[in-house]
Structure 1
Amino acid sequence: MILTVTMNPSIDISYPLAHFRLDTVNRVADVSKTAGGKGLNVTRVLAECGENVLATGLIGGTNGQFLLDHLPSGVQPFFYTIQGDTRNCIAILHEGQQTEILEAGPTVSAAEADGFLHHFRLLMKSAQVIALSGSLPAGLPVDYYARLISIAKEEKRRVVLDCSGKALEAVLQSDCKPTVIKPNREELSQLLNREVSADLEQLKSVLSDPLFAGIDWLIVSLGADGAFAKHGSTFYKVQIPTIEVVNPVGSGDSTVAGISSALQHAKEDESLLKQAMVLGMLNAQEKITGHVNLANYDTLYQQITVKEV
């Protein structure tokens, strides 16, 4: 069983407009609303791949109920209810551009933060792989992911972490490390306070930095250039085919779903990396965020190369 954790979920609202005009009325005929947040994108893709998924996180208010009502079929919800209302995130799609209006979300109380830690500990009995994704809501301490990872590690669970900024820094500076992190080059540059290029030798040096000691898998997204990965002391370059990109949003979350699924089934290194890349590409080929068409899976899988470097 895979447990997905979304600490700051949202109702994702999409407004497609032929033309977006400021300081006047814009009428939208085709509105879509989905249960969103990075962790729920991971959840959706895992469910579409046929995995057994538990979904948890913080929800509240009428938006929280909407989220529960719109979870993917087959997903088991074990969310923790808080007083604040789950946030809305609005995307205005216009003239080939995307303008986003993102609510900060509720402020979580200290009692609610402690309550979720207990709730999370109980869920360890049912899950073997934990996927932690996205931002932390206001009120949670910056080291909250580190606390969750500590609980998971006590139970000898494997953890895939996809976050950035101060929350990721706190994890890297803690004693309990996740099994996998999936930064991109920009996030690596922020962590190390220096520019990180796609040069393979530089990436080897970067991923060997003591900051990442204790993390089993480091998988760096390189966009259209595929990925660079370190597993233990072994480095890999992953080359992917050129595809027609329809909507890249959520591709990183789909990659996390692929990593989590591969860990759940104890796949070898090459298979893990290929599955992760395929699901990310399949998401990019779809209009809907956090959705994959598995009919194209095998074709793309065969076009990916993984080389030890």
Structure 2
Amino acid sequence: MVLTITLNPSLDISYPIEHLKINDVNRCQEVSKTAGGKGLNVTRVLHQMGHPVCATGFLGGNIGRFIADQLTENGIQHDFQSIAGETRNCIAILHDEGAQTEILEGGPVLSECDLVAFEEHLNGLLTDHDIVTISGSLSKGLPQTSYQSLIAQLNKMGKKVILDSSGASLEAVLVSKDKPYAIKPNLTEIEELTGEKLSLDQLAELKTLLMTELFEGIEFIMISLGAEGAFAKVGADYYRVSIPKINVVNPVGSGDSSVAGLAMALEQGKSVEAVLKTAMTLGLLNTMEAKTGYVDAAKFQTYFDLVDVKKV
């Protein structure tokens, strides 16, 4: 069973309206409210694929209770740490022929005491979990080294950790001695971390970059490239992953779906090629759905067969 960690979840609210009127009343007839945050997208995709999963992290207030109740109603196992603050809302206004305006709350302010309480909570969850995913941003108030602390704890217990984060929290992990088993940055995030301008036409340079001290100790690095697929370093080997052209409906959440694929295939003990194909297939399937963090499991094998992995 995979354990997913989301330290800053949200209730994702979608308001589709025909036209956004500024400084006026906008009425919406259909509202979608979904348990959100990158880790909960991972959770939902694993559940849709029929793979055992449990979600944890921080939840608080009425919004936190709404999220927990929705997960229960959907048959998704969860065990969150309660906090005093209120879990955040993230609002998307869909308007004017495909335009999207987002209002993202910062979320509750937590402390190192909350993190210590969560680490104790986590100890009681890890008996049945070999793969742990950590996704998304940190709640306000938590130190940027929070993920490093969790990874150190999980490594001591022999768990494989997949980290999907960016910015200062990812950098804090990369410069520490406590490394995750896998990371899934995109090319822009790698460029921001290293200060290097990268090109897929210069794979030798990308290979050299991934051999630097910053990435030392990470067994599995998958760099997502959007419509261009992915580039991966696994151990001492490098792979180029190509994906078929498809009709993209909604790309949001595709990275989270790919993390779900990594976790599922790693736990199933698949080959490197199959792990990469599974990750990219679930990312593809997410882009074909209107909702974020959703896949149609019935289409999995068809698109799995269309993903190509070559060692380079």
Q: What is the CA deviation profile of residues 151-196 of structure 1, one whole-angstrom value per residue up to 9, with x for unaligned ones?
A: 1100110000000000000000111100110011100011001222
Aligned to 1:52: 52
Letter in 2 for 1:300: Y
Alignment partner, residue 277 of structure 1? 280
Q: In structure 1, how many angstroms separate the alpha carbons of the residues matched to 2:3 and 2:11?
A: 20
Q: Does 1:203 align with 2:183?
A: no
Structure 2: which amino acid aligns with 1:156?
A: G
Report the equivalent of 1:81: 82
1:144 CA drift (Å) = 0.4
Candidates 303, 306, 312, aligned match of 1:303: 306
For residues 79-118 of structure 1, the aligned pairs below 5 Å read 79-95=80-96, 96-118=98-120
| SS of alignment partner, residue 236 of structure 1 | strand
Could you tell me which runs of 5 or more consecutive residues in structure 2 were left unpaired when the two chains were aligned: none
Three-state SS of the structure 2 residue aligned to 1:151 is helix
Counterpart position of 2:193: 191
What amino acid is aligned across from residue 98 of structure 1 in structure 2? Answer: Q
Query: TM-score, structure 2 length as denominator?
Result: 0.97
* Residues 217-226 or 108-117, more deviating: 108-117
Q: In the alignment, does 2:21 pair up with 1:21?
A: yes
Cα drift, residue 298 of structure 1: 1.2
Q: Say whether the 8 Å CA contact 1:198–1:222 is kept in structure 2.
A: no
1:88-133: CA deviation from partner (whole Å, max 9, x where unpaired) = 0000111211111000000013322210111112212221100000
Partner deviation per Cα, 1:70-102 (whole Å, 9 max, x = no partner): 116332211000000000000011121111100
- Pairing of 1:121-140 with structure 2 (within 5 A): 121-140=123-142
Tell which deviates more after alignment, 118-127 or 81-90: 118-127
Residue 176 of structure 1 corresponds to: 178
Displacement after TM superposition at 1:208 (Å):
1.5
Please give the alpha-carbon distance, in whole angstroms, between the structure 1 residues aligned to 2:200 and 2:189. Answer: 13
Structure 1 residue 245, shift from structure 2 partner: 0.3
Match of 2:270 in 1: 267
Structure 1 vs Structure 2 CA RMSD: 0.9
Alpha-carbon distance in 1 for matches of 2:41, 2:8:
12
**Letter paired with 2:70:** H
Native 8 Å contact 1:128 1:157 kept in 2: yes
Equivalent-residue separation in structure 1 for 2:47 and 2:278 (angstroms): 15
Structure 1 distance, partners of 2:262, 2:149, is 22
Gaps of 5+ in 1: none
1:226 paired residue among 219, 226, 229:
229
Q: TM-score, normalised by structure 1?
A: 0.98
Matched position secondary structure for 1:275: helix
Aligned residues: 309
Dislocated runs of 4+, deviation >4 Å:
none
